[in-house]
Amino acid sequence: MQITGTFIDEISHDIPHQNWGREEWDRDFGYMKAVGIDTVIMIRSGYRRFITYPSAFLQKQYGCYAPPVDLVEMFLELADKHGLKFYFGLYDSGHYWDTGNLQDEIDANRFVIDEVWKQYGHFKSFGGWYLSMEISRKTKGATNAFRTLGQQCKDVSGGLPTFISPWIDGKKAVMAATSQLSKEDAVSLRQHEEEWSEIFDGLQGSVDAVAFQDGHIDYHELEDFFAINKKMADRFGLQCWTNAESFDRDMPIKFLPIKFEKLRLKLEAARKAGYDKAITFEFSHFMSPQSAYLQAGHLYNRYKEYLQSLR
């Protein structure tokens, strides 16, 4: 199963920044292309006061800082140059995490979507939208909000595709800023299917693909969960992608590149389940030959050998 998409984690919650400039990004898009990646997904356009493009709206309304570089423009130009599709990730004001109220996210993004499409919609590589709030089964009440956001993205852009990347509430679903590695009260297969069927039912028509994060369950659980995900996606007319995490959740340093054997287990499970596409979180820190984590360059080499073995 080949990885054909990657997130770009500028505006990060938990991955230290590499401080790359245009030159490094240009080179990285080349490294991506060389292993078959055709899609880059900017994970979010902003989080609280940090934003990726000089949004007049967000600076005025949310007190956001003027960004030193227009990353959206840069990524789109580089995506054009390298022939990649670019997905735009919505803004996360952080208010939902503070108050439990999603209305604010809807209101903010109504403006963001319009603003962004007006400024950047003409780029050839602008290929879709990523509904960036990461949901899990506990966010069922949020289905309406996601449908609204997805619909808005489609309406403004002539129906460009949208996707979400939720997590499975498995044993490794713990906060990054704790020293814990796992928890006891993981979701069962049956609960997972019940709850996500309800969510997917509510999202029909406004979301085109679901890319479950693959790192919260144990490796021997992959097969069962992936089979259910595929079944549900088929039932509700969604494309079934896997978000193959290329960082290691099992280690005290949160987070460094994953051991290749683990990535391979996860990709193989997605292949067996008949998934439509694999994307990764994310190439530039965890798989790139120029990553500050040198393990990433070795992972790149191991992954290339794996691709060759598939031919």
Interface residues with its own copies (CB under 8 A) are: 12, 14-21, 24, 49-50, 63, 65, 67-68, 176-181, 219-220, 248, 251-261, 264-265, 291-295, 298-299, 301-302, 305
Q: How far is the CB of 291 from its own copies (least distance, A)?
A: 8
Q: How far is the CB of 239 from its own copies (least distance, A)?
A: 28
Which residues have C-beta within 8 Å of that of residue 155, sequence separation ≥ 6? none
**Cβ-based nearer residue to its own copies, 125 or 291:** 291
Question: CA distances (Å), 299 to each of 87, 183, 256, 260, in order?
Answer: 25, 28, 11, 6
Nearest C-alpha neighbor of 256 from the set 292, 220, 232, 225: 292
Q: How far is the CB of 233 from its own copies (least distance, A)?
A: 26
Question: CA distances (Å), 286 to each of 5, 76, 158, 235, in order?
Answer: 14, 22, 34, 34
**Cβ-based nearer residue to its own copies, 126 or 247:** 247
**Cβ-based nearer residue to its own copies, 199 or 270:** 270
Residue 149, class by beta-carbon neighbours within 10 Å (0-12 exposed, 13-18 middle, 19+ buried)? buried
- Beta-carbon neighbour count of residue 233 at 10 Å? 22
Q: How far is the CB of 13 from its own copies (least distance, A)?
A: 9
Pairing label, strands 239-245, 209-213:
parallel
Q: How far is the CB of 305 from its own copies (least distance, A)?
A: 7
Nearest C-alpha neighbor of 90 from the set 107, 68, 65, 69: 107
